[in-house]
């Protein structure tokens, strides 16, 4: 099994927006994320650690302005924390090994798919296309990604 961790060399190469989102718990502007409209088959991994987070099969259009997923591809890779910033009570999601801020999870997702909406910043993600998953070491997740 690959070892996923926060890599200081990778952190040093992040764009200013990726750094702000993942390391300082920022939020990209609604509707601006690189992966908001991505419909290609594959998985989304933590931009810092590479740990698998979400499958394209679980992505859906929620209308919120950020990529939305019904569940993590590997639940152990997504930590949920109480967030009381900005005068609200929410559930923040962070990558377990990279400790990257990903976004938040809300209980207003599709009922027939578990009822959750993982609202995720594109800046915290790197997309790995289905065709590249084996070569990049994510072959174990191929059965969880449907061809689109």
Catalytic pick among 48, 119, 123, 125:
119
Active site residue 64: no
If we measure between CA atoms, which residue out of 133, 98, 115 comes closest to residue 14?
98
Catalytic site positions: 119
């Amino acid at each position: 099994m690959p070892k996923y961790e926060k890599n200081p060399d990778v952190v040093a190469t992040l764009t200013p927006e990726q750094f702000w989102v993942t390391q300082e718990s920022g939020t990209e502007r609604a509707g601006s994320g690189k992966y908001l409209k991505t419909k290609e088959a594959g998985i989304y991994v933590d931009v810092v650690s590479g740990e698998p987070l979400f499958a394209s099969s679980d992505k859906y259009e929620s209308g919120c302005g950020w990529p939305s997923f019904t569940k993590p591809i590997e639940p152990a890779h997504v930590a949920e924390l109480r967030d009381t910033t900005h005068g609200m009570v929410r559930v923040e999601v962070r990558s377990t090994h990279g400790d990257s801020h990903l976004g938040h999870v809300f209980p207003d997702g599709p009922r027939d798919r578990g009822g959750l909406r993982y609202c995720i910043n594109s800046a915290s993600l790197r997309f790995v296309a289905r065709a590249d998953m084996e070569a990049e070491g994510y072959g174990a997740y191929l059965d969880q990604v449907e061809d689109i």
